[in-house]
Amino acid sequence: MKANMLRAAKLIDPQVQSNCHIVESIKYAYPLHDHDFYEIFVILAGRCMHLINGEIQTLEEGEMVFIRPGDKHGYDFSGESDCRFMNVNFYSEAVESAFEFLGSPGFSARLKRAKQPPLLRLAQPDMDALTRKGNQIMVYSTIDKSKARSAARSWLVDALALYFFEDRDENQKAMPPWLDNLLLELQKKENFVSGLVRLNELTSRSPGHLNRVFKQYLQTTPTAYLNRLRLAHARNLLLTTSMDIIEAAYEAGFDNLSHFYHLFKKQYGVSPGRIRSS
């Protein structure tokens, strides 16, 4: 079955930079779809089947799922069971800012690059807190969009922090401290725009060792990782400044415009021109 594409431009309030709503039943949920924004949903009651990237998982009350742009998913009844869930959507820029606030590039890379969307079972107090704050987002969205935006950002950081502490417990011994520090340094513009030359200056590890470690912990190569950082910076420039496409590409460290267009379209599914026009 072909998935429908949902777009942030139509579903997310730009003043709030988020959309929060309660889905009362599976029959009111979107059919199989993907989207160009992030989504986090929490099962508030009941049970359902979650169709995700060609697989099926059973979700129950208290479980939270982090959906990335491009993930294809939908919902179905689990036997006679139905469910009620809270769905919160965010612009990609808001999620990237929250990751930066948490300050662990390795964690954000693992969360975004996992084969299937990360699933977390919430403790009751955490579920209650997220539900309460989600209700605040919905109320403020109708009376004070500035407060709604603040509440949404707070909800997002709270939700990601729950994943962060769970991830840290599981991966504390697996991720070498030097790699975590290296990834943190690579978030700085002056480092990622300079490419592999600067990356090699930041560590004493050999290129072969770096390739193996990046593959092991991040499921990517150093070059691909740097390109993602550069592309995210270029995309942000196109969305938030009047800089033209060539300037944004060069500012992000790309000296080959054709290569930039190719990578950008592959990463985001649209051309730089479409991003600028939106």
The residue from 139, 171, 203 where one domain ends is 171
183 and 156, same structural domain?
A: no
What is the tens place of the pLDDT at every residue in 21-61?
999 999 999 899 999 999 999 999 999 999 999 899 999 99
pLDDT at 167: 58
Same domain, 157 and 52: yes
Q: How many structural domains compose the chain?
A: 2
**Residue 113 and residue 188 in one domain:** no
Backbone dihedral region of 191: left (phi > 0), alpha (psi from -120 to 50 degrees) or beta? alpha
Same domain, 109 and 41: yes
**End-of-domain residue from the set 171, 194, 218:** 171
Q: Work out the pLDDT band at 168, boundaries 50, 70, 90.
A: low
User: Domain containing 88 — which CATH number?
Assistant: 2.60.120.280
Residue-level pLDDT at 150: 93
CATH classification of the domain holding 210: 1.10.10.60
Verify that 130 and 231 share a domain, yes or no. no
Average pLDDT in the 3-17 region? 88
On whether both 44 and 146 belong to a single domain, the answer is yes
Q: Are 164 and 185 contained in the same domain? A: no
Give the pLDDT confidence score for residue 169 in this predicted structure.
Answer: 47
Domain shared by 158 and 209, yes or no: no
With contact defined as beta carbons under 8 Å apart, do 235 and 266 qualify?
no
3-state secondary structure 204-267: CCCHHHHHHHHHHHHCCCHHHHHHHHHHHHHHHHHHHCCCCHHHHHHHCCCCCHHHHHHHHHHH
Residue 15 has a CB neighbour count (10 Å cut-off) of: 11
Together in a domain, 137 and 248: no
Residues 159 and 186 in one domain: no
C-alpha–C-alpha distance, residues 102 and 195, integer Å: 24
Of the three residues 171, 193, 215, the one that is the final residue of a domain is 171
Q: Give the structural domain span for 93.
A: 4-171
Instruction: Mark whether 163 and 36 lie in a shared domain.
Output: yes
Considering the domain architecture, whether residues 150 and 235 belong to the same structural domain is answered as no
Pairing outcome for strands 73-77 and 4-6: unpaired
